[in-house]
Structure 1
Amino acid sequence: MVSRSAEVPGVGPEGLPVPLYEHVKRQIAEAILIGELAPGTVLPGEIALATQYGVAVGTIRRALADLTAGGMLMRRRKTGTVVTGRASQHGLRFFFQYFRLQGADGSLLQSEAEVLSVAIEPATTAEAALFGVPDAEPLLRLHRVRRVARAPILHSRIVLVASRIPGFPLKRTKVPALLYRHLLEAYGIRISAVREKVAAELANNEDCRLLKLTSPSAVLVINEEAYDQTGALAICSQHRATTANHHYSNEIR
């Protein structure tokens, strides 16, 4: 296991920090998800882990407890804490890290995101009703494309209420690659529920241009609503993807 230290906690609204155990938990979870910690791996003891991550034993204990409750770890008598044989890849705890397209063999995909545009624009009547805000309320709009091995496979239009994310970068090159993680660490907005509607459509001109498709081609369309810990709609998105060499996975645990 690679030695590392936990990141300095982010600060949410009203100056409330994101708990340090969340950072430790995320780092251990990422090591499991990318295969750095293989199934059956026995983790070092709590004191050794606390030294590795530069945190208190109580912080490690809370992170391990959450990961155990989520099924990524298990406790074995006389053995210790063990990485389980199969952990949910799309639990909401880690929804910020991985998107729903996988390789044909079911593998997680390492992708790169490029922001095509970022702007503040007024809400339409329909958007205002959806977010529960006044008509013409300023909304942050992002448009980005994701690539795997330099090949574009998905582009997304993402909408948030601007007043909930003051100071969000408005330069394309400054927009965080992991949006959900940034919302948690910078604003204390935790995605706690996601509703998706999935359909197949013929690719439009924009799809063909951004995803390098020929017409006619089919695309997978995912309309997504993400809700925060208070039950309020935090993000409204539409993702349009080619599944020629990938498939959509929705794992419920």
Structure 2
Amino acid sequence: MDRGSPVPLYFQLARQLESAVESGTLAPGTLLGNEIDLATRLGLSRPTVRQAIRTLVDKGLLVRRRGVGTQVLPGGVRRPPELGSLYDDLDAAGRSPATRVLVDRTEPAPGPVAAALGIAPGSDVRYLERLRTAHGEPMAYLRNHLPAGLVAADTALLETTGLYRTLRSAAITLHSARQSIGARAATAAEAVLLDEPAGAPLLTMERTTFDDTGRAVEYGSHLYRAARYAFEFRLMVRP
């Protein structure tokens, strides 16, 4: 720490800790101890340490756990714009994905859902709400509508695998999708589910997926924690 620098000490500490996390020196799951211990070990004031930790918590690099202390989180998910699922991305990255099914029922299709799926308003659809986690941390709140009878209603299966894997296991060939991405603030209920403060920024994604015959097989409206998740695009210059 350079006490003679115009850069605040908390920022210097935050930058050093961030570098250690990104380089792997501080591996995911590493416990940093509480603020008092850290302040004593580093010879800094407790407010300085608290502000540095808060900076990295806001960036999604650290998490405060009651009774445990401050812990290093796994890096955020960067997802390319391909026709894949969050479950597959997390599984491929070794992030131990898990799912809690909140709702699994048949209901009449609202107008926007019916339009997306190309069916008559009021037709039966299967409605799913799921909470996706990685290493026990909430990552996304997923809401999906599927044409009724498309796949067997097996809530237990959806607790152990992804929706796209379930569709493929039913011999449905996923071909393409129409997707839009945005952002908005979390409602109080969404914040509780995703372990975020009310009003926290969330990434939104709406997607309609089609099989190889052109039939719409799924309409999804998803929310992702902005601190844990990013969509990554590759743009090419048009000749």
Q: Same fold (TM over 0.5)?
A: yes
Q: 2: distance between equivalents of 1:195 and 1:120?
A: 24
Q: How does 1:130-145 map to 2 (within 5 A)?
A: 130-145=116-131
Distance change (3 Å), C-alpha of 1:168 and 1:210? same
Of 173-182 and 236-245, the range deviating more from structure 2: 173-182
Q: What TM-score does the superposition give when structure 2 sets the normalisation length?
A: 0.57
Q: What TM-score does the superposition give when structure 1 sets the normalisation length?
A: 0.54
The answer to whether the 8 Å contact 2:117/2:208 transfers is no
Counterpart in 2 of 1:228?
211
Alignment pair present for 1:182 and 2:166:
yes
SS of structure 1 residue aligned to 2:149: helix
SS of structure 2 residue aligned to 1:163: coil
The size of the alignment, in residue pairs, is 156
Q: 1:239 deviation in Å?
A: 1.1
Q: 1:90 deviation in Å?
A: 6.7
Counterpart in 1 of 2:148?
162
Q: How does 1:190-201 map to 2 (within 5 A)?
A: 190-201=173-184
Distance change (3 Å), C-alpha of 1:214 and 1:96? closer
Q: How does 1:201-220 map to 2 (within 5 A)?
A: 201-220=184-203
Structure 2 stretches lacking a partner, 5+ long: 1-78
**Cα deviation code 1:72-129 (max 9, x no counterpart):** xxxxxxxxxxxxxxxx97754x658524x89xxxx67442111111000011233223
Distance change (3 Å), C-alpha of 1:251 and 1:139? farther
Q: 1: distance between equivalents of 2:187 and 2:205?
A: 15
Distance change (3 Å), C-alpha of 1:140 and 1:251? farther
Q: 2: distance between equivalents of 1:130 and 1:152?
A: 28
SS of structure 2 residue aligned to 1:164: coil
- What is the percentage of aligned positions where both structures have the same residue? 22
Matched residue type, 2:88: Y
- What's the RMSD between the two structures over aligned residues? 2.9
Counterpart in 1 of 2:48?
none
Counterpart in 2 of 1:21?
none
The answer to whether the 8 Å contact 2:186/2:202 transfers is yes
The answer to whether the 8 Å contact 2:144/2:220 transfers is yes
Q: 2: distance between equivalents of 1:184 and 1:245?
A: 28
Larger Rg over CA atoms = 2
